[in-house]
Amino acid sequence: MRSSARTGMAVAVAGVASGLTMLSGGATALAATTTAPPTRLADDGICRYEVIARHGLKVHETPRGKEIPPPLKFGKRVLADCKTSHDGWVELRGDVPVSQRHGWVFAKFLKRIKPVGGVSAGGGGTSAAANPMLAGAGIGALVLGAGVAVSARRRQVRNVA
């Protein structure tokens, strides 16, 4: 029975220690995970699109200008200006080969992809991956006096003959 209680206590102590580590380093981890805005492209006037032209979408140097091969494949996701100009053309900004960057495509053959936001996990509403401070908060509550209950029970084995 002692070994089970000892193991349980060791697990509890290890949990408290990792919680303190998360509390102290959580702010740094949070800052590292939130520095790059994943879906803030629309603020810059750049939106994410998907190519819907079944046989590919030709990229041009200027609107109605010379083509830049190869055409963008069906389903390819690209970054381009949010607003059309020159009678329905948009300028490519990213996620294309360097030779096609700043090329032009006809917006009619692009479908705008809405940014995905919200929580990172289901059920609970958030996760430690979305906010590292949450991982340490539960353990930190234990350290600050919320208490911990460790239960160890030894299983009894019976010989049935």
pLDDT at 55: 94
Q: For residues 84 and 88, what is the distance between their CA atoms, to the nearest angstrom?
A: 5
- Is 18 among the domain residues? yes
Lowest mean pLDDT among 27-41, 94-108, 124-138: 27-41
- Is 152 among the domain residues? no
Q: Is the pTM of this model over 0.75?
A: no
pLDDT at 35: 38
Rounded mean pLDDT of the chain? Answer: 72
Q: For residues 147 and 120, what is the distance between their CA atoms, to the nearest angstrom?
A: 29
Whether residue 46 is found in the same domain as residue 107: yes
Does the pLDDT of residue 42 top 90, yes or no? Answer: no
Peptide bond into 115 cis (omega under 30): no
Whether residue 48 is found in the same domain as residue 33: no
Whether residue 44 is found in the same domain as residue 93: yes
pLDDT at 25: 53
Does the pLDDT of residue 141 top 60, yes or no? Answer: no
- Is 74 among the domain residues? yes
Q: Please report, for the domain that includes residue 72, its CATH number.
A: 2.30.30
Domain ranges, residue 15: 2-37+128-146
Max mean pLDDT range (3-17, 60-74, 124-138, 142-156)? 60-74
